[in-house]
Amino acid sequence: MSLTPSQWAALLPLILPALGACLIPLMALDKDQTTAKWIRAVMYGTALLAVGASFWYLTDLWKTGAQPSFFQLRMDRLAQFTGIFVLVAAAMTILQSWDHFHQEGWVKGETLSLLLFSVTGMMLFASTNHFVVLFLGLELFSLPLYALVGTVRARPESAEGGMKYFLTGAVASSCFLMGGVLIYGLSGTLDLSAAAFTLKAQGLATDPLVLVGAALMLLGFLFKVSAVPFHQWTPDAYEASPHPIAGFMSVATKGVALIALLRIFGGSFAPLGNLGVKMQSVIAVLAVATLVVGNLTALVQTNVKRMLAYSSISHAGYLLLGFVAGTPAAYNGVLYYLVIYLAMNMGAFGLLTAVGLVGERTTFDDLRGLGWKRPAMGIAAAIFMLSLAGIPPMGGFYGKYMIFRELVATGHVGMAILGVLASLVSAYYYLRFLVALFLQAPSVEAERLASDRPEVHAPLAGATVLVCAAIVLAGGFLQTFLADGFARRALVDGLGLIR
């Protein structure tokens, strides 16, 4: 079978990381200790090259404005947006994990391979309307992540977290599958856009079975988004995994799940108007629950990673509020928020690696006084935390602003008030991070222990943190470029949502 150039163009961004993922295990076969260091460098280089080539190709594609497709794989603007989003997160994860594993102890090279497979799956997941392809993508990005969570086998929590994530994830996946099967059974087609038209034509738009099917699919998405009540895996999985992987999961999994949700429920299922309204009210209830539970639980955490996990749950709440408003401008806000959120969370998790807090040493007490010892990291941390809390002039404020604005415009003033109250609560625990960094001196014992440890050298992680800080600040001052030039065009050209 020969492919046309356009089909190649659609496939290539996925093939490149997959190719890298296949090459890396071959290198990992080498058991010679003397060459291990070099092999490792080559593996990381290959992974970066694969991600970089795909990124370069996608940005080129974005510039030309072409939207090629390969059968059910549609590399439209929204898919390109997702690809760029995921690849940036992956590149940062690779860079951070070099420094992270350098400190925590090296693990087998398959880690990188799994990460790249996951990246491929994510890009597939967010670029199709076809149910089977969607499910393939879901599994292709989830299964490597289950394994990645349990990467550090030396720690018992690691296996526990991975197992927990896997079991709950498997249930969610099967629910998702069941939902798709129900819709397929009633409509007779696996293409979800076509299914929506068929169902509408048959007058089955509000059939209970269709509702159940859509709800089960929604459950699958919300599990990946880690919305309450499907959030239980999040803190354990994040705590178990190495910091860069936790950062990657918090950003990329949530991001692609939301974008796929947008593509399916905002785009494909749009003809089933009534169903959308019903799903919107479900999302509204869950978004409120997510905001309340995520923020209140984050308040009482003593471990930074668990705090960040609950914070990521609460951010799922804000992002879902954009779906409650459900206007193109709100989706624009969601995509914009995701870009900033990528920088904030990759930055926050990378920060832990950069200041040398790996393994178990991730409590607030371990952070004490570090802002003064590492001023650049301290300032970056302040930028991330204030942005997560939504304080202007950081980028996070504009994300919330766009979403709340649409909520108010669509008459959801109560939800907007709840949203701002939630971010008020969140400000407290983000400030705790800054209190520990700047306002508390380390305890005498910690000082003594710190002087025994070797100096932390994490230049790659440090560099990603600074890049993230720059992105967050850019979100605050060049907001139109990101919101209109990037996020909005993905919506307009990709989904045909025009405002």
Partner 1 sequence: MTWLNSHPLTFLVFAPALLGLLILALPNTLGRLSRLLGFMGALAVLVLSLAWLLGHSGAGATTVAEQAPWFTLVGLPVDYALTVDGLNLWLVLLTTFLVPLTMLGTWESIKDRLGTFAAMFLLLETGMLGALMAQDLFFFYLFWEGMLIPMYFMIGIWGGDERRYAANKFFLYTLSGSLLWLVALLYLANKAGGFNPAVMSQAASALPFDVQCWLFIAFAVAFAIKVPLFPLHTWLPDAHVQAPTAGSVILAGVLLKLGGYGFIRFAIPMFPAAAMHYAKPLALLSVIAIVYGALVAMVQRDIKKLVAYSSVSHMGFVMLGLASFTVIGTQGAMLQMLNHGISTGALFLLVGMLYDRAHTRMIADFGGVAVKMPIFTTFFLIVTLSSIGLPLTNGFVGEFWILNGAFLSGFGWGRIYASVATSGVVLGAVYMLWMFKRVFWGPENKDADCGTHHLHTDLNAREIAVMLPIVVLILWMGIHPRTFVAVSEAPVVALLQDAKAPAIRTFVLKPAVHEAPAADTAAHDAAPGPGHETPAPAAHEVHR
**289 part of the interface to partner 1, by CB under 8 A:** no
Residue of the chain from 338, 406, 462, 469 that contacts partner 1 (CB under 8 A): 406
Q: In DSSP terms, which residues pair with 73 in a beta bridge? A: 70
CB 468 within 8 A of CB 351: no
Residue of the chain from 14, 199, 257, 416 that contacts partner 1 (CB under 8 A): 416
**402 part of the interface to partner 1, by CB under 8 A:** yes
Q: Which two tokens mark 357?
A: 């807090």
Torsion, Cα of 172, 177, 183, 186 (10° steps): -130
Residue of the chain from 98, 101, 398, 486 that contacts partner 1 (CB under 8 A): 398
Indicate the residue among 47 and 403 with the shorter CB distance to partner 1: 403
Q: How many helices (H) and strands (E) would you count in the chain? A: 23, 2
Task: Write down the least CB distance from residue 445 to partner 1, Å.
Answer: 20
Task: Write down the least CB distance from residue 53 to partner 1, Å.
Answer: 34
Unique residue bearing structure tokens 């009210």: 281
Q: Are strands 69-70 and 73-74 parallel, antiparallel or unpaired?
A: antiparallel
**440 part of the interface to partner 1, by CB under 8 A:** yes
Residue of the chain from 170, 270, 435, 463 that contacts partner 1 (CB under 8 A): 435
Q: Which of 125, 87, 105, 89 is nearest to 36 (CA)?
A: 105
| Mask for 47-86, x = binds partner 1 (CB under 8 A) | ----------------------------------------
Which region among 89-97, 112-120, 250-258, 386-394 touches partner 1 (by CB under 8 A)? 386-394
Indicate the residue among 26 and 417 with the shorter CB distance to partner 1: 417
**420 part of the interface to partner 1, by CB under 8 A:** yes
Cα gap 162→151, rounded to integer Å = 8
Residue 129 DSSP symbol: -
Burial of 318 (0-12, 13-18, 19+ CB in 10 A): buried
**405 part of the interface to partner 1, by CB under 8 A:** yes
Residue of the chain from 45, 188, 393, 496 that contacts partner 1 (CB under 8 A): 393
Cα gap 139→480, rounded to integer Å = 36
Residue of the chain from 288, 338, 386, 456 that contacts partner 1 (CB under 8 A): 386
Q: What SS3 state is found at 202?
A: coil
Q: Which two tokens mark 496?
A: 């045909």
Residue 3 DSSP symbol: P
Restricting to residues 345-384, name those near partner 1 by CB under 8 A. Answer: 372, 379, 382
**413 part of the interface to partner 1, by CB under 8 A:** yes
Omega prior to 208 cis, within 30 of 0: no
Residues engaged in binding partner 1 (CB under 8 A): 329, 332-333, 372, 379, 382, 386, 391-393, 397-398, 401-402, 404-406, 408-409, 413, 416-417, 420-421, 423-424, 427-428, 431, 435, 438-440, 479-480, 483, 499
